[in-house]
Amino acid sequence: MSDKKYAYAVGRRKTAVAQIRLYNGKGTSTINQKPVDSYVTRADLFQTIYAPLKTAGVYEDFHFEIEVSGSGESAQAQAIRHAVARALVVAQEGLKSTLKGAGFLTRDARKVERKKPGLHKARKAGSWSKR
């Protein structure tokens, strides 16, 4: 961890939680103390993670350190995207309207519905028979 000044934010999706420290300037971006390219293997998830930086036009101006846990790789990438967008707003207030318009600041609240007693899954019931 660095002693430099940073913008801090938290992003969430399903059960994934991403905590970010966004630093000004060039540097190596890490996720869970690993370089981004070794932690993220799918190309579509790279696009998801870097979308707020590219939309705001500040892709080359920042680097970050992220701690992420919970859920799967896709939900983690979406939690990271949420955290990056929120940290960008903390770092530069003028980017808020751009990021909000693109939908990056909205928390996706959908979660897996819990299983109910007497049912097979959350809503799936056994076959009904009159006799």
The mean per-residue pLDDT over the stretch 32-39 comes to 96
Q: Is residue 95 exposed (0-12), middle (13-18) or buried (19+ Cβ within 10 Å)?
A: buried
Residue pair 71/12 in contact by the 8 Å Cβ criterion: no
Give the pLDDT confidence of 1-34 residue by residue, as tens digits: 556 899 999 999 999 999 999 999 999 999 999 9
Distances in Å between the Cα of 93 and the Cα atoms of 23, 66, 67 are 15, 21, 24
Reported pTM: 0.90
| Band of pLDDT at residue 97, cut at 50, 70 and 90 | very high
Mean pLDDT of 100-126: 96
- Give the model confidence (pLDDT) of 55-71 as tens digits: 999 999 999 999 999 99
Instruction: Catalogue all structural domains in the chain, each as residue range(s) with its CATH number.
Output: 6-102 (3.30.230.10)
